[in-house]
A and B are shown apart, each in its own frame.
Chain A
Amino acid sequence: MYSEKVMDHFANPRNVGELDDANAVGEVGNAKCGDIMKIYMKIEDNIIKEVKFKTFGCGAAVATSSMATEMVKGKTIDDALKLTNKAVMEALDGLPPAKVHCSVLAEEAINAAIFDYYKRQGIEPPVEIKCSGCCADCHKHD
């Protein structure tokens, strides 16, 4: 049911862990629905220097977290904000229909971390940031 890429990112996830000196942390999802993604970033000069994640969830949740963090590492904030769930899915050679919401969660987790960065910097977040980590409804991503 999963592509080889998904299984690779699940079995050998990239960027797992926490960042003690993170200046951007975003968490989306909730335990009741069975998936939570938490992303830590260290942002310097508008560039995501380091990124780590922790995820509670299924194989696709882990794989999309891993892939999304790979895709934003070293990128500017603006580029990271352009990351779509579709791009994450394509990079993983697709996801089963029931797992598309995991890629949405990954996109939102990146957004939520950057939202947190702006907040910490005392800057008004740009309007294109869609999610601040407020998603509490299991049915939202269908």
Chain B
Amino acid sequence: MTKSVYLDNSATTPLKKEVLDEMMPYLCEHYGNPSSIYKIGREAKAAIETARQKVATSIGADSKEIFFTGCGTEADNWAIKGIAQAKEKKGKHIITSKIEHHAVLHTLESLEKQGYEVTYLNVDEYGKISLDDLRSAIRPDTILITIMAANNEVGTIQPIAEIGAIAKEHGVLFHTDAVQAIGSMEIDVKAMNIDLLSLSAHKFGGPKGVGALYARRNVLPSVFMHGGAQERARRAGTENVASIVGLGKAIELATSNIESKTAKIRAMRDRLIKEIPEKIPYIKLNGHPTDRLPGNVNFSFNFIEGEALLLMLDLNGIAASSGSACTSGSLDPSHVLLALGLPHEIAHGSLRLSIGESNTTEDIDYVLEVLPGIVQRLRDMSPLYEKVSKEMR
């Protein structure tokens, strides 16, 4: 039987057993509608409020500042469109970076069509924004800065506390997409001057289909969904009770002892980053050498294409991800890799391995064992490698 190694934890993570156990009673047993006044309704309501408190505690917020959503994308949409609408009298200028998730970039593009102006900050070769660029981009009509805490593809961590300080100094609101960051790094919204933050449960051992938006008190984005009084009448719709309970449990687990928990993951990451280049020539590490997510490994392999690499890995039981055009569903490779300055042909050959809590040393051994052979096999098939191999001979 082929081995099965899951190294796509930035795409999603397996639901933790402890999380599922907490969710189960809210599916069949305590099935009440949280808006109902009788016992099973009150139980469901209480469970939501407990989960809200857990989310708040894990990021240093107050429970009144947490709003549950259907996913991280919804939280991003709400934060950005909601602030744009709420602050349109002040101005219509928003600052972001070129390497945001599409949930942010496409939301901003939709606002541009409505007359908003967006400044897209460049990043350096490692994926970091420049704080000087940020300062000079701020204008009197700037209403929002939205910059992700950590990048999903290359793992680069942004200086969010410094961004928060600059935003506060200029009286501009600061939103951060922390979908990849929760559970991987400490986040304290008060200390870091974060006004709005998006998160998603399935990235840290919770269920899919639930996320949350933190919005600092008095920084209310406009109503997102009209209807009933749920989520303080700002996001109407009967709550996804079991999943919200799951989010609460998952974030509690993910944000306790981050340092010791990520140490094991970080060690596996560092081993891959060190040993893959020792075994495979003509490759490049993408992202920041040190300020990167503990589980993120991203390499570009010259002369080969990412989708072919993923298929070969899949045939060997390894699940991973790539930023090639063939996997992005467009003609261009990943906007993140291009923003880092990679030429198209190198960006097509990228591979992201994202390590999670369930990975083992044996998984890493296995990748190091099969990856070099797969890359070589594809290179032997590649006309781009022909010239190089002839020169070597």
Contact = CB atoms under 8 A, between A and B. Distances in A.
Interface of A: 7, 10-11, 13, 16, 18, 27, 31-38, 54-62, 98-99, 138-139, 142
29 contacts: A7-B311, A10-B308, A10-B311, A31-B344, A32-B345, A33-B325, A34-B325, A34-B326, A34-B333, A34-B344, A34-B348, A36-B383, A54-B382, A54-B383, A55-B383, A56-B304, A56-B305, A56-B381, A56-B382, A56-B384, A58-B305, A58-B307, A58-B308, A59-B307, A59-B308, A59-B311, A61-B305, A62-B308, A99-B326
Interface in B303-349: 303-308, 311-312, 315, 324-326, 329, 331, 333, 343-345, 348
B383 A56 contact: yes
Contacts of B303: 56
Given A18-B386, A54-B386, A57-B308, A13 B344 contact: no
Given A10-B308, A10-B311, A56-B304, A38 B325 contact: no
Interface residues of B, number: 26
A27 B333 contact: no
B326 A32 contact: no
B305 A32 contact: no
Interface string B382-393: 111110000000
A33 B331 contact: yes
Contacts, number: 75
A54 B381 contact: yes
Contact of B345 (A11, A31, A54): A31
A43 B329 CA distance: 38
B183 to A, nearest CB: 31
Nearest to A99: B326
A55 B382 contact: yes
Given A10-B308, A59-B307, A31 B324 contact: no
Nearest to A31: B345
Given A54-B382, A59-B311, A98-B326, 7 more contacts: A32-B343, A33-B331, A34-B305, A38-B383, A55-B383, A58-B306, A62-B381
Contacts of B385: 56
Nearest to B333: A34
